[in-house]
Structure 1
Amino acid sequence: MNTIINFMKRHYKILLTIVVLSITLFAFNSNYRNEVNSDKDKLLLELLTFVIEKGHYSPATIDDTFSKGVYKDYIQALDPSKRFFLQADIDEFAKYETQIDDQILNKDLTFFTLTYDRLMQRMGETKGIYKSILENPFDFKVDESFNTDYEKAPYAKNTEELKERWRKQIKLSALSSLTDRLKMQENKGKVLEDSNDAAMEDEDNHVVDGVTPLVTKTEAKSDEKPKTFEELEKETRESAKKSLDEYFSFMGDLNRNDWFSVYINSITARFDPHTNYFAPDEKERFDVSMSGKLEGIGARLQKKNDFTEISELISGGPAWRGKQLEAGDVIMKVAQGSAEPVDVVGMRLDDVVKKIKGPKGTEVRLTVKKVDGTIKVISIIRDIVEIEETYVKSSVVNKNGLNYGVIYLPKFYIDFEDKNGRDAGKDIALEVDRLKKVGVDGIVLDVRDDGGGSLSTVVDIAGLFISEGPIVQIKSAGRRKEVLFDRDKKIEWDGPLVIMVNSFSASASEILAAAIQDYKRGIIIGSKQTYGKGTVQNVIDLNQFVRNSAVGDLGALKTTTQKFYRINGGSTQLEGVSSDVVMPDRYSYLKMGERDVENAMPWDKIDAAEYTIWDKNANFNKAITNSKNRIASSEYFKLIDENAKWIDSRSEDNTYSLHIDKFRTAQKEIEEKAKKYKPISKYKNNLQFTSLPYEMDQIKTDNILKEKRDRWHEALSKDIYIEEALNVLDDLQTKSISKQSGTQKKDKLVKS
């Protein structure tokens, strides 16, 4: 989950933490000043644990219990499916289960070095295993099975047992792929057969219903000969080998520093789930995700074996504007301006990215193999690239003669380095103003799947909908609470408001939903409750504590420094925000919230802040009641709830037969059961969503943006949850409107 990040370093509490750390760590700087060749990992280990203990809201005691937790998390992270380590390895590692705490305090890397070296050894050995397995055809008539519940599975006792586990894992994957290939071929044959039947019927009649037949008996026959079972089986093995080759290529790109980050994060996670270490590259990616922009060429890359391929051009970026690069091009060499080009074939993807990215205004020259096979050198001037998917977007829909606005906020983003840069607060205000100008009668603010972001933007956004008052309360360890206020009396939008949430709405999303709910300013609809993350994290640059630059970039630490509370005093921690109107969804019964995460901080409450409930929603309670009644009588929502229960029941089904007939029978039974729920994916609300005028102008010259908006609008037109949100806006109206019952409409669709 993305987290609330409060980067306001001028904030007195954070400043105090930094000062305390700086003073105390001066001794560190003195000790390491002259040790140019000091071990970076040991320094990092010492620095991290010290900063966490001094800055964390409620630091855990580093003892044997702590050590056991780190051991469990780390071993599981190294080998989650238990296909590398042997039981003998685990027995050897287990000797350190209660010693990790001592090794942390003593800057001892014995345990990490042992596990890292052994993992590299086992991975090297495993390459030969999977290649050997895939050399010969599988016998899918053998009556055997495989259980995919890796957590409960024992480790292999010896190499032979490990080979057998790999064989069954690969066989299951191949069997699943083979079954799909057989089904596709059978369906294709059925289509051709049906086409032949139709063609013969049309040939007899010459013209059917005034239309000349498009398919004749001869045309319906395919020149493509159906593949034999043996041919399809061979294809599945070749495909499996290619996938595993790519997997091991990716794993091979990981170096010791990457695995040390895994170890470090196994330690930080014992303090709470949201305290994490960012290696330098990860910190850079985090900054990009928070700001939504970077300096570079604006292309997404992917690794394919030894090659780096362009997977997508970012709309508006320099590569997109240049119109020379395209998806599928393979980058062979990279040159900085007129400098000698560097061959990047076989290079780590992260290293290729570093060479291509660079400051705005600088030149990079890419030698690429085009999709048509030609080789071309392309010069691109780097620029600021905005990642459009990060930012807010809005749409307008007409329903029952009224116009409504739908605003989607994927993240509470902000650029801490540029005060004039984009942030969610300013952008939402702009979208609300644009919606007002086109005369909307209500607004839906959609924060489904929004994992959070900047704390300051939440206050700005909530303040758009109220006159003034408290938005959220914050408490640091051992200190009095602080209340963050909206002090601007201006109300940007005082009309009907609905906030949409789901189980993955977290952190900043929960603060916003809680504030709107406590004020009774709008109606919260969605999952039974939101994710349940009620903590605040700060990102601390670790380099500021070490004067000796010889150790290199140490990265950053994101640590929990505060808890936030609703203005009514309650915490969203674990409990989240309960929706005013609960709508069933596919994940209603699965355990995926903060309350299901180990080491999550506890729920508590503090005194409420003083605030005045909004009194301009005359139809508030009526709208909630109407919505609940619609949902209770909706056949679609009943079907969604039944589907959710079925999905939950199937989560315990982990054993699969490796006999092709039994496997196909089982899959057919699942498919037959799943047919009952197909109407859910085929649902249409018959509403037409359009972009705002300013975006319509952009779309005229930006095909990528047009395609993205078309996909979004199509998704909205199939979204039963959006439709119900709009129904609620209808019910919140104080003026008379002519409308058809949403329940009657949906029931009619079910029967059709």
Structure 2
Amino acid sequence: MRKICLICLFSCISFMFLCGQNKKLAISGLRVSNENRNLNYKRARNVMAVISQLLLYYHYRGNKIDDEVSEKAFNKFIKILDFNKNIFLKEDIEKLSKFEQEIDTEFKNGFSRLSKVSLNIKQTRNLEVQAIYKKLLSVPLDLKKEITLISDFDLLEFPVDNLERVKRWQNLLHQFFISTYVGMLVEKENKLIKKESTDKDQKKATEKKINYLALKIKPLDKELEKKAREKILKGLNMRFKRIADGGELDHFNLYINAVCSIFGPHTAYHMPTEKEDIDIDLTGQLEGIGAQLQEDGDTLKVVKIIPGSASSRQKELKEDDLIIKVAQGNGEPVDLTGMGIREAVRLIRGKKGTEVRLTVKKPSGLIKVIPIIRDVVILENSYARSMVVEDKQSGKKIGYLLLPGFYWKKENSDLGRSSSEDIKRELLALKKQNVDGIVFDLRNNGGGSLSDVVNMVGHFIPKGPVVQVRSPSNRKKPRNILSDLVGGVIYAGPLVVMINKVSASASEIFAAAIQDYGRGVILGSGRSSFGKGTVQTFFGLQRGTNEKDVNIGALRITIQKFYRINGQTTQFNGVVPDVVMPTQYMELETGEKYKDNALKSDIYLPTSYEKYAPSGSFEVVIKSSQARVDKSEYFSNVLGYAKFLKQRRGMKKTKVSYNQQLEDLDLLQKKAEELKKISKEKRTLIVTPIVSQKGNEAVKESLKETFKKMEIGLKEDLYFHEAINLIDEISNKLLKK
């Protein structure tokens, strides 16, 4: 069985939206899909058979699907179907529980009765629930009503009957209503503040804040009340329509992934279109028209035209256009009204050189058909960027290097670029500017290509091991040491690597190697990085079936763990930075250790390697930096705010009322203002972008905008300012000895 792509590392962080307007963004590109939402049983049988074999023989754990896995998968599947426990009744769960230990048998036989029976129940209950919320939202809701909701759904049982389910929906809709109504009221108040301002006092008006507590005595705005109910109704209708449109196929995929998730948070089945989306993330390129889209009610709005793309060159599609229909060349147009953004984007995406015809509604009301020939779309913001930052305070010239992800160039394809090659180019450009040190920003970098991170570490060390990769003990070669064998340092000066709680996988390999070699200082926003120390690969499922010519999706599977060269693992624990800087969200449960079924942390054999600098070389500057952070009034307040958020998040029950919502907003505003007052002072920095990559004029103009935003951000970024302080101390205290 052959793998369909290179080994890759990345972090998967999932977000759940219960209701309301979820503004999703998507880039139109790649393959058109006319996927039928009905389940092909023969194909489903093949998928189940191949997945069970792959999990047994290739997954790091090497477990088979047995009764224990069945029980866990059943509970996970029910949680996926009805997380809030407000759709199914207790009798439904009792009916389904007979399948609790039969999932292993179902995979063996290649047919899931659990998936089929649960779908029938879900479809019936969804129709009942739609009738419930539509009736409840058809009459005015009580703004002054106070309720207490259980925040931890694990403490709830499923409703015993419809009467109890109706009560749950009454409470849930009240929560939605309070949140939506207050949001609309705040928006209205903000517009009034803006309207009342004159040109003279515009600045004063901008700084004016809403008095949330004063809104308590404001009488009910009947028009807003009605609009709030309509908005909630629209959101719920769209949600349930998409569930219905997903049909048997989507339901089956949920079932399969419930089973896969028991093997770990990064093992999952991906339909063909989902796999394409992952490829886009890893390469930073796609094939399509180059328009960024956003849901706007029942239609899709163009929010950005990607510079240099097919849409940009064609010049007719503009921001704020609404896309109504899509046709493939001279084919029949497909109406997009009410279609989800993912389904719509599948129609708009397509291979380079093919034509798509978009029927759009202009802001003026004009309806127009726009033909566009698809082409390669380059997402410049996915790629490495660098700037020279002159700091007036220290007199130092700093090279700032930003890497959003460890992207890669696909084999035998025009798509993609190598992140290690791009970083090499940026380093050479910064060296020409005679910078005193480099700050390498890996904050929010979720990982990517394993080979690229190994090569990238090689730019900073003479040569040597970078990371250990461990396979299950039954493999011929369970231990593999990946090294930089090229030799030669691209950049040898002072180095600070910035990470945060979302820096994961390949980012952690890089930071850990730099730390273990003593090559630089790791500056962390938070106590540790994400903690993902596993390796995944993709297997094309059709290769294990008799459907060789049909793309039936791929299995992303955890095949290895990686270890630092000192034998420690980043799995669970992440990389603990040399200097810890508090963040507002550092106390919240984010990271691998909080994910279900994640592999545990352990210790492996250390490798032989020569330190770049003697142990303890950075001890003086690290202590000095940490002392500055600990004494900072701003970071003390940030830590206090983080504890405040943790306390709020940890509450098992939530009080929901109009007054409580306003009091919460008032408290959050005051806390934010306290932080803002302390952090108001900007550092005097002169920032010069480095444009080392060639591109057309449209791309260059877009990059100017990007660099301008980066410049503004760096001037206000107190975490980056501490990185400058570190570079200053390293060059003054260490290099001049």
Give the TM-score range, shorter chain. 0.7 to 0.9
Give the match for residue 706 of structure 1: 704
Write the mapping of 1:498-647 to structure 2, written as runs, cut at 5 A. Answer: 498-526=496-524, 527-549=526-548, 552-615=550-613, 620-647=618-645
Q: Aligned pair 1:409/2:403, yes or no?
A: yes
Match among 670, 682, 685 for residue 684 of structure 1: 682
Q: Is contact 1:656-1:663 (8 Å) kept? A: no
Q: Aligned pair 1:311/2:303, yes or no?
A: yes
- Structure 1 window deviating more from structure 2 (355-364 vs 178-187): it is 178-187
Q: 1:311 to 1:257 in 2, by over 3 A?
A: farther
Query: What SS does the corresponding residue of 2:567 show, helix, strand or coil?
Result: coil
Q: Deviations over 1:277-330 (max 9, x none)?
A: 111111111111111111111113344454333233222211122221122222
Q: Is contact 1:253-1:348 (8 Å) kept? A: no
Q: Deviations over 1:394-427 (max 9, x none)?
A: 2221013222111111111113234774111111
**Unaligned segments of structure 1, at least 5 residues:** 11-36, 200-225, 739-752
Query: What SS does the corresponding residue of 2:63 show, helix, strand or coil?
Result: coil
Q: Is contact 2:426-2:692 (8 Å) kept? A: no
Residue 146 of structure 1 deviates from its aligned partner by 2.8
- Structure 1 window deviating more from structure 2 (514-523 vs 309-318): it is 309-318
Residue 523 of structure 1 deviates from its aligned partner by 0.6
Give the match for residue 110 of structure 2: 107
Match among 232, 235, 244 for residue 243 of structure 1: 235
Give the match for residue 452 of structure 2: 457
- Structure 1 window deviating more from structure 2 (417-426 vs 616-625): it is 616-625
Give the match for residue 348 of structure 2: 356
Match among 411, 432, 435 for residue 440 of structure 1: 435
Q: 1:561 to 1:156 in 2, by over 3 A?
A: same
Query: What SS does the corresponding residue of 1:733 show, helix, strand or coil?
Result: helix
**Structure with bigger RCO (C-alpha 8 Å, 6+ apart):** 2
Distance 2:129 2:295 in 1: 21
Q: 1:558 to 1:720 in 2, by over 3 A?
A: same
Letter in structure 2 aligned against 1:162: R
Q: Is contact 1:246-1:304 (8 Å) kept? A: no
- Structure 1 window deviating more from structure 2 (568-577 vs 296-305): it is 296-305
Q: Is contact 2:66-2:104 (8 Å) kept? A: yes
Distance 1:736 1:285 in 2: 46
Distance 1:7 1:548 in 2: 19
Residue 235 of structure 1 deviates from its aligned partner by 2.5
Q: Is contact 1:6-1:537 (8 Å) kept? A: no
Residue 710 of structure 1 deviates from its aligned partner by 2.4
Residue 118 of structure 1 deviates from its aligned partner by 1.5
Query: What SS does the corresponding residue of 2:154 show, helix, strand or coil?
Result: coil
Write the mapping of 1:462-481 to structure 2, written as runs, cut at 5 A. Answer: 462-478=457-473, 479-481=477-479
Residue 454 of structure 1 deviates from its aligned partner by 0.8
Give the match for residue 336 of structure 1: 328
Distance 1:659 1:412 in 2: 46
Q: Is contact 1:246-1:305 (8 Å) kept? A: no
Question: How many residues are treated as equivalent by the alignment?
Answer: 681
Query: What SS does the corresponding residue of 1:254 show, helix, strand or coil?
Result: helix
Normalised to the residue count of structure 2, the TM-score between the two structures is: 0.86
Residue 649 of structure 1 deviates from its aligned partner by 0.9
Write the mapping of 1:261-272 to structure 2, written as runs, cut at 5 A. Answer: 261-272=253-264
Match among 290, 314, 329 for residue 298 of structure 1: 290
Distance 2:498 2:629 in 1: 15
Give the match for residue 81 of structure 2: 78
Q: Is contact 2:326-2:336 (8 Å) kept? A: yes
Give the match for residue 371 of structure 2: 379
Distance 1:504 1:614 in 2: 27
Q: Deviations over 1:2-51 (max 9, x none)?
A: xxx994489xxxxxxxxxxxxxxxxxxxxxxxxxx862112211110111
Give the match for residue 94 of structure 2: 91
Distance 1:631 1:472 in 2: 31
Q: Deviations over 1:613-641 (max 9, x none)?
A: 11389962222122111112111111111
Letter in structure 1 aligned against 2:565: I
Distance 2:345 2:356 in 1: 12
Distance 1:361 1:144 in 2: 58
Q: Is contact 1:477-1:562 (8 Å) kept? A: yes
Q: Alignment RMSD, CA only?
A: 3.1
Normalised to the residue count of structure 1, the TM-score between the two structures is: 0.84
Give the match for residue 427 of structure 1: 422
Q: Is contact 1:683-1:720 (8 Å) kept? A: no
Q: 1:491 to 1:342 in 2, by over 3 A?
A: same
Residue 493 of structure 1 deviates from its aligned partner by 0.2
Give the match for residue 18 of structure 1: none
Give the match for residue 367 of structure 1: 359
Distance 1:576 1:483 in 2: 20
Residue 176 of structure 1 deviates from its aligned partner by 2.3
Residue 270 of structure 1 deviates from its aligned partner by 1.1
Residue 382 of structure 1 deviates from its aligned partner by 1.2
Q: Deviations over 1:442-501 (max 9, x none)?
A: 111111121111100011110000111111111211234111111122111000001111
Q: 1:569 to 1:669 in 2, by over 3 A?
A: closer
Distance 1:728 1:116 in 2: 58
Query: What SS does the corresponding residue of 1:167 show, helix, strand or coil?
Result: helix
Distance 2:405 2:648 in 1: 32
Query: What SS does the corresponding residue of 1:609 show, helix, strand or coil?
Result: coil
Letter in structure 1 aligned against 2:98: K
Q: Is contact 2:625-2:726 (8 Å) kept? A: yes
Q: Aligned pair 1:723/2:731, yes or no?
A: no
Q: 1:663 to 1:628 in 2, by over 3 A?
A: closer
Letter in structure 2 aligned against 1:513: A
Letter in structure 2 aligned against 1:332: I
Residue 701 of structure 1 deviates from its aligned partner by 6.8
Query: What SS does the corresponding residue of 1:255 show, helix, strand or coil?
Result: helix
Residue 665 of structure 1 deviates from its aligned partner by 4.1
Distance 1:150 1:185 in 2: 34
Residue 172 of structure 1 deviates from its aligned partner by 1.5
Q: Is contact 1:296-1:360 (8 Å) kept? A: yes
Distance 2:4 2:544 in 1: 20
- Structure 1 window deviating more from structure 2 (646-655 vs 140-149): it is 140-149
Distance 2:371 2:591 in 1: 47
Q: Deviations over 1:24-81 (max 9, x none)?
A: xxxxxxxxxxxxx862112211110111101112222432221121011111111112
Give the match for residue 31 of structure 2: none
